[in-house]
């Protein structure tokens, strides 16, 4: 099918490539003219047959709001907008109501897979009316991993991003556990090879996971994580998860502690946070600190570095209207 894709950064660019490999026609727009297929949103919309489907992969918040608002003036009744960034579910509900006034459908889609999604596929959690989801289904089927799982129509509008938010909260807690275990193993004199201990856990244990695999990758590259500063960003979704838990009186002590641990990392050079930063770098190409930050909690400033290949993957700006940060959070 034909798809318009807005935002061709690390994930958006790879998603365009995966969809094209799957036989779809993708018209991409990005303010970086080197990676963009068209010069404007208007030209992107004009190039699509009806009913038109436009997938937005720009930073959450005002950049996404501005893009949705502009698309509302360009699209027609029966068309569909998909927000595949990391928007908060409350924004989804506002966007859906706004577009419904013009009889334009809206689907929110949480996307996980990071820079590995091009080859492995992306885990997808989407919310919206069944009729709108049906128009996008061929795209979902191509983006998802092979097999029967990896994609879900989670519920009504907002359900996709809410599910992805909780996914990222869980991710915080798992990463924190691996990181704390690594720090303890490194601390004692009796363990001679911490990297090999972690590697041994990858087969047959109850704690094996892809995150564990990535931790081993990071330790192979830098056994003591000496080149990484113990400073870990938070994408915002960990905070939203804790806020939602408070609103619904659901105890989430592990996720909350993992979020607060990242705040601690802004104050001193935590060994465990080196492990968190290394894992984030492995799965998402997130920048890591190699020295004191140049100022503020902004990822990617001076003193940050990326995983090999991450710069190429993120050559396009995620956001066509603003120079804000990446469209996606942890993964």
Tens of pLDDT along 175-209? 999 999 999 999 999 999 999 999 999 999 999 99
Query: According to the model, what pLDDT value does residue 330 have?
Result: 52
Least reliable range by pLDDT among 141-145, 162-166, 196-200, 307-311: 307-311
Q: Which two tokens stand for residue 12?
A: 């958006």
77 plus 216 within the same structural domain: no
Q: What is the DSSP string of 243-300?
A: HHHHHTT---HHHHHHHHHHHHHTTS--HHHHHHHHHHHHHH---EESSS-SSSS-TT
Any domain includes 52: yes
- Residue located via tokens 């959690």: 125
180 plus 300 within the same structural domain: yes
pLDDT at 305 over 50: no
Query: Is beta strand 80-83 parallel, antiparallel or unpaired with respect to 25-29?
Result: unpaired
- The pLDDT mean for the chain works out to 87
Say which of 52, 135, 164, 274 is annotated catalytic: 164
152 plus 173 within the same structural domain: no
Task: Fill in the DSSP letter of residue 64.
Answer: H
Say which of 10, 135, 144, 171 is annotated catalytic: 171
Any domain includes 329: no
Is 171 one of the catalytic residues?
Answer: yes
Any domain includes 328: no
- Which of 163, 180, 204 represents a domain boundary (last residue)? 163
pLDDT at 109 over 70: yes
Q: Which two tokens stand for residue 83?
A: 């927000």
Give the dihedral of Cα atoms 75, 77, 83, 84; nearest 10 deg: -90
Domain count, the chain: 2
**Mean pLDDT, residues 36-64:** 96
178 plus 148 within the same structural domain: no
- Residue located via tokens 């798992």: 174
Least reliable range by pLDDT among 41-50, 107-116, 200-209: 107-116
153 plus 249 within the same structural domain: no
Residue 105: name the closest of 66, 76, 63 by CA. Answer: 76
- CATH number of the domain where residue 248 is located: 1.10.1040.10
48-51, long-range: CB < 8 A, 24+ apart? 48/2, 48/3, 48/4, 49/2, 50/76, 50/78, 50/79, 51/78, 51/79, 51/80, 51/135
Rounded to whole angstroms, how far apart are CA atoms 301 and 292? Answer: 10
Rounded (5°) CA angle 36-310-215: 145
Confidence band, pLDDT 50/70/90 cuts, at residue 113: confident
Is 70 one of the catalytic residues?
Answer: no
168 plus 158 within the same structural domain: no
State the residue range of the domain holding 223.
164-308
Rounded to whole angstroms, how far apart are CA atoms 140 and 97? Answer: 23
- CATH number of the domain where residue 105 is located: 3.40.50.720
Query: According to the model, what pLDDT value does residue 52 have?
Result: 98
Any domain includes 74: yes
pTM: 0.80
């Amino acid at each position: 099918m034909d798809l318009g894709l807005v935002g061709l950064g690390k994930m958006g660019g790879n998603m365009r490539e995966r969809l094209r490999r799957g036989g779809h026609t993708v018209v991409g727009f990005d303010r970086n003219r080197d990676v963009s297929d068209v010069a404007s949103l208007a030209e992107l919309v004009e190039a699509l047959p009806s009913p038109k489907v436009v997938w937005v992969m720009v930073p959450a918040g005002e950049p996404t709001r501005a893009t949705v608002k502009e698309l509302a003036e360009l699209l027609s009744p029966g068309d569909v907008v998909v927000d595949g960034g990391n928007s908060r579910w409350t924004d989804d509900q506002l966007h859906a109501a706004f577009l419904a006034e013009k009889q334009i459908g809206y689907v929110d889609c949480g996307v996980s897979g990071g820079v590995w999604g091009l080859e492995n596929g992306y885990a997808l959690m989407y919310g919206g009316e069944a009729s709108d989801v049906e128009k996008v289904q061929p795209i979902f089927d191509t983006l998802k991993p092979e097999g029967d799982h990896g994609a879900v129509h989670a519920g009504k509008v907002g359900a996709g991003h809410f599910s992805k938010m909780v996914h990222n909260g869980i991710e915080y807690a798992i990463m924190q556990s691996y990181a704390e275990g690594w720090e303890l193993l490194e601390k004692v004199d009796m363990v001679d090879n911490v990297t090999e201990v972690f590697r041994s856990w990858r087969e047959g244990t109850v704690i094996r996971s892809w995150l564990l695999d990535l931790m081993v990758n990071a330790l192979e590259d830098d056994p003591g994580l000496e080149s990484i500063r113990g400073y870990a960003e938070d994408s915002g979704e960990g905070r939203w998860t804790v806020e939602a838990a408070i609103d619904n009186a659901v105890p989430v002590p592990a996720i909350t502690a993992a979020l607060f641990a990242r705040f601690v990392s802004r104050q001193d050079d935590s060994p465990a946070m080196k492990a968190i930063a290394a894992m984030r770098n492995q799965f998402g190409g997130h920048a890591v600190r190699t020295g004191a930050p140049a100022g503020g909690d902004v990822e990617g400033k001076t003193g940050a570095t990326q995983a090999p290949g991450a710069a190429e993957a993120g050559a396009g700006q995620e956001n066509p209207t603003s120079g804000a940060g990446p469209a996606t959070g942890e993964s």
